[in-house]
Each structure stands twice: as C-alpha cells, then as structure tokens.
Amino acid sequence: MTVALVWFRYDLRLNDNPAFIEACSHHQFVIPLYIYDGKNSVSGEAQDWWLHHSLTSLSESLAQLGLNLILRKGDPFEIISDLVKKLSVSSVYWNRCYEPAAISRDKKIKAALLERGIEVQSSNGSLLHEPWTIKNKNGDYFKVFTPYWKHCKQHLNIQPSMYLENRPAGIEVQSEVLKDWKLLPAINWAAQFSEYWTPGEAGAQQKLHEFIEHHLNDYKKNRDFPIKNATSRLSPHLHFGEISPWTILRAIELAKLNPNCDLSSADHFLSELGWREFSVYLLYHFPKLPYENFRSEFDAFPWHNDKELLARWQNGLTGYPIIDAGMRELWATGYMHNRVRMIVASFLTKGLLIDWRLGADWFLDTLVDADLANNSASWQWVAGCGADAAPYFRIFNPVLQSQKFDPDGHYIRHWVSELSHLQSQYIHAPWESADSERIYLTTHYPKPIINHHEARTRALKYYNQLKKK
C-alpha cells in the first residue's frame, strides 16, 4: 500500500493540476490537504471570503471522487510532518509557489521530508514558464516586458491537458471544520460579492467560456471602458489556481482557429497572461519587490503620506468622481477595472504623494485577485519606480481619463449614486458646473481634496529632482 499526500495551495482545482494528477496516477491512496497558515498569509479579508467558497467547491469536487479534503490550520512544517508520520505517507506532492516566504518554507519542508526518506515531488501548476528558465542574451533576467514576452512566445510549447484517469482510494482522517476558521466576515460587508463571483473550478470554467463566446472579439476595443463587461474577470480564479494558464491558453488558441476570430484581440488578451507571468518573474528575481523600490533612486522620494488623504482615497471620498467610483466598486465587489486601477494608483502616488506601498497594502486587503507579485509590480509600475515602469511624467489626469473611458458617466453613476442626476458634461468634474455650489450642497458629495494641476506640478518637481541626483 502506498499513500500520497497532496498539499493544495494556490491550485484549488482538479483538472490540469499536475501535483494532484501525478499523485493519483502513482498511488493507491491519496490524502488531499489544505493548510491555512494565517500568520504568514499575504491575503486580506476579501480573499478570505473567496477562499472559504473555493475550498467548499474543491471539497465537493473531491467528494465526488470519494476523497475527503483535510483541513488544518497552523504551521505547514509541523502539520505535514505529523500527518506523514501518523499515516505512513510515502510521497508528498505540491505545485510550486513563487513568493519569497513560500520558497523558503517549501525548501525547509522538502529537506526535512527527504531526510526521513519521504519522496517529494513539486510541479509547475501555475505558470507557462518557470521564472528561472527565461534569460536574455547576457544570461541575466529581463527587466522590460516586451522583449520578455516575445522571448516567452518563441519558446512556448503548448502542454496537453491533464485529466484524472486513475481514481485512488481515500483514507479516513479527521479534518477541521471550515466554518470554524471564520473566513467569512462577521459583519457581512461582502454581501454583494456573490452577485459578481462564483468561486471554484466550475465558476472559472464558466467565466472563460462566457468571455470567449461573448467578449473576446471586442476585447482590444472595449477593454479600457469600465462600464462595459469586456474583460474576462478570470484574475481571481487564476490567483487561487481554480483554472490553469494552460487551460486558458489552449482555449484562446482554439478560438483563434475560428475564421471569425479577431486575432489582434486574442493576442492582446494573451499578453495580459504575459503580464501576470512577468510579475511573478520579477518577484522571483527581485524578492524585495513588495517593499523595496526596484529603481533605487526612488528611495529618496519625499512621500507625504497624509493619513487623512489616504483615508479619503480608501473610502471613495476624494471629490474626483472616477476615483471615487473605482474605490467604491472595490469595496462593494472586491474588484476594480484595470484601467481604473491605474487611474486611482496614479492619483494616490503622484497626486497625493502617498507611498505606493500603502496603496499596495490596501489592494491586498480588499481585492479578491491581488497576489503579491502582480500587485507589487503594478504599483511600482504606476509610481514610476518599478521595472519597465511608466515614465515619471505620465501622471493620469482623472478628469480627462474619465471623459475618455466613461464618456457618458455610466460607470460613475453606478458607483457614485449621489451624482447620478448630473448631466454627462458635468459628471466628470462637478466643480466646473455653473451650479456647482447647489450640487455640493444638495448631494453632500465632497469637493476635490487636491487641485490636480497643482499636484501634477508638485510631483514633477520631485521627480525631476530625483533625475538630477
């Protein structure tokens, strides 16, 4: 009798899951395990909501195979060591994680298991390319996205689908109760989440199908307009590993065979998968990415870090409708449209001069899709201090961005209801209306907390001073 332990992490699915499928292919008994290590988790409360429902879905899928998902809370090293000893486990399987703390943790566990004669098999369950396999002509890692992704595409061998063929038996093991972990909020601020999301592998597959069927062809044209349902919204499913990037890639490549497919849109969408990969790649090669400027000259940047202004930004009370719409969408749904993410991040870092790390922390706590790599890389990109960063002089004008990507104000009206009665010509900048005093008096909507043009001039002064050093 051989017993395998499968340690689920950010791979909460059964199909296209190399660790799970390999374990089932080679062992008579399989023990699926999930460990909640709250102490070392970088996810916030929004992701705890998602995790609860995703684990419920995974448990139900495993039950259909006659397997029970074992839940444990605590230190993975101690939990795995204890289970291996008590259950005579001969092999442990997992899919690799790429966050610095996870790499260190996994090395420690692997070394201890190997010393005890336990086989350990780790697999790539979340990336198209392992980060150490992609190098530039100098043998170093890429620091700019375009040549990185070009190289990746040239060395991309599409992997075949992995499906479960052998069904091993389970072993009766006592599990903790998911609801006892209290991942769901006591005060249900996440009440609307379920209107927008269906966590789990089935929900991910449905999202992919709907996107390809209804939105792929117009993706490039419509992706920047937040009121349009034009993006895939697969990011939280990818973050929790409910769907594999290979599954998405194969589906898009199959769609491209349709003569009616807009190839430009399809390739543009695939480049977003590339940005996700590039973020993990950067984190792997620069582990300090979440807390240290990639470009060290930014260490001298004079952040103001006004706590009151930060709170106004977090609560969607800045007086700039597109900013407030985005921040309120985030709070209500655990999500924000990507174009709006760039606008609100630019406003925080270059308008309010608040450290990008404070914005990144807020996103980690409130986004259902925020992972350490993508979140850190994206915030550094907007702030101008990251790899392949936006130029320091690119400071989004929130009014112009609003007029361009929400021209009729539908997105603003949806999330900033107190302005829903305004005409489109004034909804982007209520202060420009001849009737502005009455608007502010009757709606109780706040006046702008900064003057954008003055803030832009101030930010450029600081950025130019960095250039001279």
Q: How many CA atoms lie less than 13 Å away from 298 in the CB half-sphere?
A: 24
Judged by average pLDDT, the poorest of 33-42, 47-56, 252-261 is: 33-42
Banded model confidence at residue 40, pLDDT cuts 50, 70, 90? low
Residue 41 confidence (pLDDT) above 70:
no
Q: What does the alpha-carbon distance between residue 46 and residue 44 come to, in Å, rounded to a whole number?
A: 6
C-beta of residue 347 within 8 angstroms of C-beta of residue 318: yes
In the CATH hierarchy, which fold is given to the domain comprising 3-125?
A: Rossmann fold (3.40.50)
Q: What local confidence, expressed as pLDDT, does residue 390 receive?
A: 67
pLDDT in tens, 212-249: 999 999 999 999 999 998 999 999 999 999 999 999 99
pLDDT in tens, 90-148: 999 999 999 999 999 999 999 999 999 999 999 999 999 999 999 999 999 999 999 99
- Assigned token pair, 166: 């052998």
- Please state the rounded mean pLDDT for residues 174-187: 93
Nearest Cα neighbor of 42 from 361, 282, 335, 374 is 361
Neighbours of 272 (CB within 10 A): 17
Q: How many CA atoms lie less than 13 Å away from 386 in the CB half-sphere?
A: 27
Q: What local confidence, expressed as pLDDT, does residue 190 receive?
A: 86
Nearest Cα neighbor of 148 from 163, 133, 159, 158 is 133
Q: When comparing pLDDT for 203 and 392, which is higher?
A: 203
- Assigned token pair, 443: 């709606």
Coil, strand or helix at 109: helix
Q: Where are the domains of the chain?
A: 3-125, 127-160+200-285, 296-467
Residue 133: CB partners within 8 Å, gap ≥ 6?
Answer: none
Residue 257 confidence (pLDDT) above 80:
yes
Residue 400: CB partners within 8 Å, gap ≥ 6?
Answer: none
- Torsional sign, CA 306, 310, 313, 317: negative
Catalogue the active-site residues.
Answer: 272, 275, 303, 338, 356, 379
Known binding site: residues? Answer: 219, 231-235, 269, 369-371
Instruction: Return the percentage of the chain with pLDDT > 70, whole number.
Output: 98
Distances (CA, A) of 374 to 72, 127, 378, 385: 28, 13, 6, 15
In the CATH hierarchy, which fold is given to the domain comprising 127-160+200-285?
A: 1.25.40
Banded model confidence at residue 465, pLDDT cuts 50, 70, 90? confident
CATH fit for domain 296-467, picks 1.10.10.10, 3.20.20.140, 1.10.287.3510, 1.10.579.10: 1.10.579.10
- Torsional sign, CA 245, 251, 252, 253: positive
**How high is the mean pLDDT of the chain?**
95
Q: What local confidence, expressed as pLDDT, does residue 467 receive?
A: 72
